[in-house]
Amino acid sequence: LKKLIGIDLGGTSVKFAVLSFDGEIQYKWRIETNINNDGKNIVPSIIESIKENLEQYRITSNDILGIGMGSPGAINGKEGTVIGAYNLGWKTLQRVKEQIESAIGIPFYIDNDANVAALGELWKGAGEGDTDVIFVTLGTGIGGGVIVQGNLVHGASAAGELGHIIVDPDGYVCTCGNQGCLETVASATGIVRLAKDLAKEFKGDSSLKLIIDEGSNITSKMVFEQAKDDELARIVIDKFSYYLGLASGNIVNILNPNTIVIGGGVSAAGEMLIENVEKYFLKYTFPPLRSTTKLKLAKLGNEAGVIGAAWLVRKSISDIKQD
Amino acid sequence: LKKLIGIDLGGTSVKFAVLSFDGEIQYKWRIETNINNDGKNIVPSIIESIKENLEQYRITSNDILGIGMGSPGAINGKEGTVIGAYNLGWKTLQRVKEQIESAIGIPFYIDNDANVAALGELWKGAGEGDTDVIFVTLGTGIGGGVIVQGNLVHGASAAGELGHIIVDPDGYVCTCGNQGCLETVASATGIVRLAKDLAKEFKGDSSLKLIIDEGSNITSKMVFEQAKDDELARIVIDKFSYYLGLASGNIVNILNPNTIVIGGGVSAAGEMLIENVEKYFLKYTFPPLRSTTKLKLAKLGNEAGVIGAAWLVRKSISDIKQD
């Protein structure tokens, strides 16, 4: 059985992995992302790095079924192009598939980074064995991937904009221009925003409030860490949980997936996060559907991207058979 | 090419149609639904009616590819069973497929009535030519069907509970027990509820308010009919439109379908309904996705059910090929 190559292209580093056909990571490495010069060096350095490493591990292109990649920006999967990936410097259309296939001679597949991470969690992570999985990644912003019957949902243009589900029509203004998007209150930045706002009206003892009042920076991690002893931190987490629970409940009312997987930096808060969100999640789910959709933490962490990218390759085989 | 039979099973009547392979209705008829005796006569009378009519039109079972049906209640498509269809008297498990196949000898397919109507609109209605369609039916309650890449989404148990999307967490209590479900404010009953509540605080001249204050019954139809000349009616429609627009916008943020199709009795209000809802729909849609999803009135009216049921049959062929 041939091997798979998975690539997770990000604004600071490019992660690579060679995986077995069954998704076991056999080799992995990373390089820095060189975003200078409108990101013109990114694809050439990826090509070079693959060639070097295959040679080092004595793998020929004949041993490889294909290369998969998760990328920021707006992706055209069929054409294998990327546009508007600003954290890579890619403002104009990048013909990634064309460049990589002609240089390495192996079939290439690409999708949006959050989508690819969703596939990783479906294949080897919290959604293993499921067919319908929603992946929500809580980082600086919020990304998402929607998988139905094992397939990514792309919709008319770009499905899975879960960070822009409106959870409070009178809420904070989002970077997208709308008001009350989930991202404004449930991303790492959103949690800090909630903490600062709720601190203003909080009257009790709180070390979190002291730090905020001093004008020092706080992080979403600090909020979760202090929840045990700090009343304000608990209020912030409760508010965050309400919003994420409301959005997740409504996802069930529309799609009733097997699992909603919560990943991204904020999910490092662990089971405490799930417990808090679950209370609201169950409340806002249509009663007959409660207990049919599970809410789970992501399992693969940083490796979801390369594993899901490899699944893009692996899955292409069964898709071809169906055509 | 063989013909298809589509059946739309409802609480007051059962609609039948014989359709060409391409979905043209060739014959149609209906019988009353006899819900006496726990609905025990329903399936036998369907069998009898099919036999009679095939004979009358001189069609043999050899001419028929299969029979499809939309039914209320919780459906198990594989087993071909229905349970909990209370408006049919079906409290216990009904083995519909088994009875019909053994009596008529033609393959039988069944799905939820709202799902089947969604398929009808996808095949021959407002979503013709699309792959991803959401169907929202605004009647006494609200039903829904979610279609992704031409396939109904069933999820872990029952996707498409669009009437139970929470649009106002502090809103009216729903029959399901939750608060602020879309159904409480955007169904025919919900519109009447909004009108009665908004009439209380309305101070201006309004014939709608006069009728309500007299204690006479109003209908959602009356609200739409009076919108031209009645300020209160316009306020009610605006509030209804806000809720339906918010839910529809969030559907786009999650699934970005080609089309959201609005059907059911309330949709008889016509293009005025779409115009009002669209304002909020666009507002709550993630800006880059505005204009990618269309909001449309259903086209097939009462025939969506039999046409979609026939599509269940037609589609079964291509599904078999892919297995």
Is residue A167 within 8 Å of residue A185, measured between CB atoms? yes
- Which of A149, A162, A166 has the most B C-beta neighbours within 10 Å, making it the best mutation to test the interface with B? A166
**β B74-76/B108-112 pair status:** unpaired
* Three-class DSSP labels, B18-72: EECCCCCEEEEEEEECCCHHHHCCHHHHHHHHHHHHHHHCCCCHHHEEEEEEEEC
**β A133-138/A142-148 pair status:** antiparallel
Predicted confidence at residue A263, as pLDDT, reads: 97
pLDDT tens column, A206-251: 999 999 999 999 999 999 999 999 999 999 999 999 999 999 999 9
- pLDDT higher than 90, residue A68: yes
Give the nearest partner residue to B258 out of A146, A156, A258, using CB atoms: A156
pLDDT tens column, A45-62: 999 999 999 999 999 999
Is residue A214 within 8 Å of residue A168, measured between CB atoms? no
Long-range contacts of B161-164 (CB under 8 A, 24+ apart): B161/A253, B161/A254, B161/A256, B161/A286, B161/A289, B162/A253, B162/A254, B162/B134, B162/B136, B162/B247, B162/B251, B163/B187, B164/A253, B164/A286
Alpha helices in chain A (DSSP H): 36-39, 42-56, 96-104, 113-124, 183-186, 188-201, 207-213, 220-225, 231-255, 271-283, 304-322
Question: What pLDDT band is residue A323 in, cutting at 50, 70 and 90?
Answer: very low
Is residue B16 within 8 Å of residue B53, measured between CB atoms? yes
Unique residue bearing structure tokens 């809103």 = B171
B interface with A, Cβ–Cβ below 8 Å: 132, 144, 146, 148-149, 151, 153-162, 164-166, 169, 176-178, 181, 246, 249-251, 253-258, 283-284, 286-289, 292-293, 322
Query: Is the Cβ pair B153, A176 closer than 8 Å?
Result: no
B242 by DSSP, 3-state: which? helix
- Mean model confidence pLDDT for chain A: 96
Q: Which two tokens stand for residue A279?
A: 């209370």
Question: What pLDDT band is residue A317 in, cutting at 50, 70 and 90?
Answer: confident
Predicted confidence at residue B321, as pLDDT, reads: 56
CA distance B168 to B173: 10
Q: Which two tokens stand for residue B246?
A: 């918010």
CA distance B79 to B208: 49
For A16, the enclosing helix (H) or strand (E) is strand A13-19
Within 10 angstroms of residue B202's Cβ, the number of other Cβ atoms is 17
A240 by DSSP, 3-state: which? helix
Alpha helices in B125-230 (DSSP H): 183-186, 188-201, 207-213, 220-225
pLDDT (tens place) for every residue of chain B, 323 residues total: 999 999 999 999 999 999 999 999 999 999 999 999 999 999 999 999 999 999 999 999 999 999 999 999 999 999 999 998 988 999 999 999 999 999 999 999 999 999 999 999 999 999 999 999 999 999 999 999 999 999 999 999 999 999 999 999 999 999 999 999 999 999 999 999 999 999 999 999 999 999 999 999 999 999 999 999 999 999 999 999 999 999 999 999 999 999 999 999 999 999 999 999 999 999 999 999 999 999 999 999 999 999 999 999 999 887 765 54
Q: B101 CA to chain A: closest CA distance, Å? A: 28
- Which of A86, A154, A161 has the most B C-beta neighbours within 10 Å, making it the best mutation to test the interface with B? A161
Give the nearest partner residue to B151 out of A149, A159, A288, using CB atoms: A149
CA distance A120 to A65: 18
Q: For residue B84, give Cα distances in angstroms to A91, A126, A245, B161, B165.
A: 55, 33, 29, 16, 21
Is residue A238 within 8 Å of residue A190, measured between CB atoms? no
A interface with B, Cβ–Cβ below 8 Å: 132, 144, 146, 148-149, 151, 153-162, 164-166, 169, 176-178, 181, 246, 249-251, 253-258, 283-284, 286-289, 292-293, 322
Q: Which two tokens stand for residue B293?
A: 């999803």
For residue A134, give the nearest of B89, B101, B156, B171 by alpha carbon: B156
Is residue B53 within 8 Å of residue B29, measured between CB atoms? yes
CA distance B162 to A252: 10
For residue B27, give the nearest of B1, B62, B64 by alpha carbon: B64
CA distance A286 to A270: 26
Count contacts between A and B (CB, < 8 Å): 137
Model-level pTM? 0.95
CA distance B40 to A79: 56
What ipTM was predicted for this assembly? 0.95
Task: Count CA atoms within 13 Å of residue B206 on its CB side.
Answer: 26
**Cβ neighbourhood burial of A34 (10 Å; 0-12, 13-18, 19+):** middle
Q: Which two tokens stand for residue A131?
A: 């067919």
The amino acid at B126: A
Query: Is the Cβ pair B155, A258 closer than 8 Å?
Result: yes
Report chain A residues whose CB lies below 8 A from the CB of B169.
Answer: 246, 284
- pLDDT higher than 90, residue A318: no
Sheet strand arrangement including A74-76:
A74-76, A81-83, A94-95
Query: Is the Cβ pair B250, A165 closer than 8 Å?
Result: yes
CA distance A281 to B117: 29
